[in-house]
Amino acid sequence: MNLIFNHENCSGCGICKLACSIVNFKQITPARALLRIEGLFPAPGHYQIHFCDQCGICAEVCPVEAIELENGVYRINEEECIACRECVEACPQSVMMIQSENDMPAKCILCGECATVCPRQAIMISEEENVAGGQ
């Protein structure tokens, strides 16, 4: 599967971010979300969703090769990760987070919950195969 983002449908409500945090971390806070919504106000006056497109830069910069490609999704192997944060800093969308309880980075694993809860089809699930590398 893959995700489709319709930025013009986004109203900035943040339901997606809260759902992401709850489903992935059991945390009631959008601060843990693995996507961002940027409000471009006052001008031009709309929202931009920043999301992980599985571009793989995080894997490229990882000094211990702890980020691995599995079925089109880059996943962090926490047993290998040394928590150096290089991946977080390199993420071009700034959508990787540090988990405060264990200092480990986290990234989108394409669970699709953000799309499931979006009431405006700003994020939708596509059944097309994800092509890692952001293509």
Q: Which is nearer to another protein, 39 or 134 (CB)?
A: 39
Q: Which of 91, 84, 108, 93 is closest to 37 using CA atoms? A: 93
Q: Which of 106, 12, 25, 129 is closest to 58 using CA atoms? A: 106
Find the shortest distance in angstroms from Cβ 50 to another protein. 10
Q: Which is nearer to another protein, 20 or 108 (CB)?
A: 20
Distance CA 89, CA 69 (A): 19
Find the shortest distance in angstroms from Cβ 113 to another protein. 10
Residues lying near another protein in the complex (CB under 8 A): 8, 10-15, 18-19, 21-23, 26-32, 38-39, 41-47, 100, 117, 119-120
Q: Which is nearer to another protein, 30 or 66 (CB)?
A: 30
Find the shortest distance in angstroms from Cβ 44 to another protein. 7
Distance CA 54, CA 2 (A): 10
